[in-house]
Amino acid sequence: MNQQEKVAALPQSNIAFTSPEFRQFSPDPALGKAKAAFRANYLTAYYGAAYISPDNARNIHVFDGSIWEYLETERVEYDAACMLDASGVDYDPTEVTNIIKVMRQRNPRMGLAPEHLISFKNGVLDTQQNIFRHKSPFDWLTTQNGIIWGETIPGENLPTHAPNFYKWLSFVRYDSEEREEAILAALYMVLMCRHNWEMFFCLTGTGGSGKSVMQRICTMLAGEHNMAAIDIDGICGDFGLEHLLGKRLFLASETPAKWPKKAIRIVKAITGGDAVMVNRKGEKVVSVIIRSILTFTGNTPFDFGTIDSGLERRAINFGFWKAVPDSMKDDQLTAKIAAELPVVIRYLLARFPVADTAKQALIRQRDGAEAKQVKYEGSPLERFLSSLEIDPYASLSGRNGMQWNAPGRNGSGHIRFERQFVHHAYLSFCDYEGIKPALDMRELRSAINFRFGADLRTGKGTGGRRLINLRVRDDAEYLPCSDKDSGNVINFSG
């Protein structure tokens, strides 16, 4: 075995540690009449060190010599039952659950893992001090990426020492240095688990274009065992979040374009660092902050409903529009990239020596032309808002300016005035797109205020009606004609 493949030795500490392969129960007659507290101490001693997560979930974590492994309740119940069986104790289910309750109440609480540490299979990389060292239980690491860290190769570079990763990157960068930097920044965010950046990734576009490879690379950087597959509808279920506890990367494949409102609220809460309610089978509902990175993949750009939901500014869109030619396809590509991961990781750390550099690259991607094009194609609301513009000539007096709607006239009848009333324009847009109007007047007004911000001005016109300095663009496809003098009256057959 190569020296770099050996798991680093555990430094001395005052935290007890029992290697999993050496854990065993010895018969103890005292367990028969013992109270739950004594039994909880006995089970804790079996694990060596059993600490409790510092959040409301109060999950049990056991140090295995490398990380603090999260033990699901079913696993602890099984171990508690085995402990009692080993001593020939007759028990009922309540006695087993009482042992776990005591452990959660009295066992020590864990600390939080520092953000500057990256946990590998054979040690921990301290990016703050730029050293690779042995792991310590006081690092409070709950995951490791499963990658064996090795020494830097002299003259190391991607084309020579990570040719398969470089091949994929060269294809999906689309001859854009900014896009390449954003893709690398996204991988850096996953590697460092920068959940506090309040961002998530949307990978959309044609099949066979490199999206799934990016997902696999993200999984390898986070660690296969640290990834949880999710479904945009599944997370809305009663127990949809239970299996996400303790994971650092969530991947959603084949995500539909339209998202349920509940899913939008959940994703917004997770990415914003807010607590979410997690319903666990057989246990009470708890409020937990889930510290993970979310990535959604689909063939069609996503529609979040409204642009002012708070989710829009957190979505980092990557469009994958070019299918990989058959001559370039390699079924073993991800396996080959896996062997190159240490080189890729060192490159990412060298590319972004200051974490904020990666964050700013993602912000530029979020606000760039590519993201705007993705949102335009995926969101009907985005397309409608793009048909409006600020009118620099609107005096906002008399009838010079648009109105939100006409009293007693909602535009659903035989006549519409698209250039005069915003709601009329929206209804004609929906007719043109062949969709049902999804927004009421309040939601539409909120979206327009959010889009145009301080540039949107209001005034009072004839009869005290509220005017706004908007106009419909002449190239709006839902208009019957672009002649401003036509009165913009649409006569529908009655």
For residue 55, give the nearest of 118, 130, 109 by alpha carbon: 109
Give residue 308's pLDDT. Answer: 59
How long, in residues, is the chain? 494
Question: What angle (nearest 5°) sits at the alpha carbon of residue 363, between those of residues 322 and 129?
Answer: 110
pLDDT in tens, 297-326: 999 888 887 665 678 889 999 999 999 999
What percentage of the chain's residues is helix, strand, coil (to nearest 5)? 40, 15, 45
For helices 211-222 and 163-172, the axis angle rounded to 10 degrees is 130
Q: Is the pLDDT of residue 213 over 50?
A: yes
254 compared with 491, residue with greater pLDDT: 254
Prediction pTM value: 0.74
Q: How far apart are CA 202 and CA 309, in angstroms?
A: 16
* 381-486 to CATH, choices 3.40.50.2300, 1.10.10.10, 3.90.245.10, 3.30.310.50: 1.10.10.10
Residues 6+ apart with CB under 8 A from 333: 164, 167, 168, 213
Q: Note the pLDDT of residue 130.
A: 80
Three-class SS of residue 330?
Answer: coil
Q: Cα separation of 84 and 118, whole Å?
A: 39
Average of pLDDT values for 369-373?
89
User: How many Cα atoms are found within 13 Å in the side-chain-facing hemisphere of 93?
Assistant: 2
Q: Give mean pLDDT, residues 39-56.
A: 92
Find the mean pLDDT for residues 115-119. Answer: 82
pLDDT of 261 strictly over 90: no
Q: Is 258 left (phi over 0), alpha (psi -120 to 50) or beta?
A: beta
> What pairs with residue 68 in β-bridges?
63
Stronger pLDDT, 1 or 176, i.e. the higher one: 176
Residue 237 has pLDDT above 90, yes or no: no
Q: Six-digit token pair at 258?
A: 């339209």
Residue 493 pLDDT level (bands cut at 50, 70, 90): very low
* pLDDT for res 13: 56
Q: Where are the beta strands (DSSP E) in 36-170?
A: 50-52, 60-63, 68-71, 117-120, 123-126, 131-133
Q: What percent of the chain has pLDDT over 90?
A: 56
pLDDT at 469 (0 to 100): 94
Residues 6+ apart with CB under 8 A from 452: 388, 390, 470
Domain residue ranges in the chain: 3-106, 158-378, 381-486
Phi, psi (5° rounding) for residue 422? Answer: -60, -45
pLDDT at 8 over 60: no
Q: Which of 90, 57, 52 is nearest to 284 (CA)?
A: 57
Q: Which of 89-98, 219-228, 268-277 has the lowest mean pLDDT?
A: 219-228
Q: Give the mean pLDDT of the chain.
A: 87
Residue 483 in this model has a pLDDT that exceeds 50: no
Handedness of CA 413, 419, 421, 426 (dihedral sign): positive
Comparing 152-166, 275-289, 298-312, 421-435, which segment has the lowest mean pLDDT?
A: 298-312
Token couple for 471: 């106009």
> Which fold is adopted by the domain 158-378?
Rossmann fold (3.40.50)
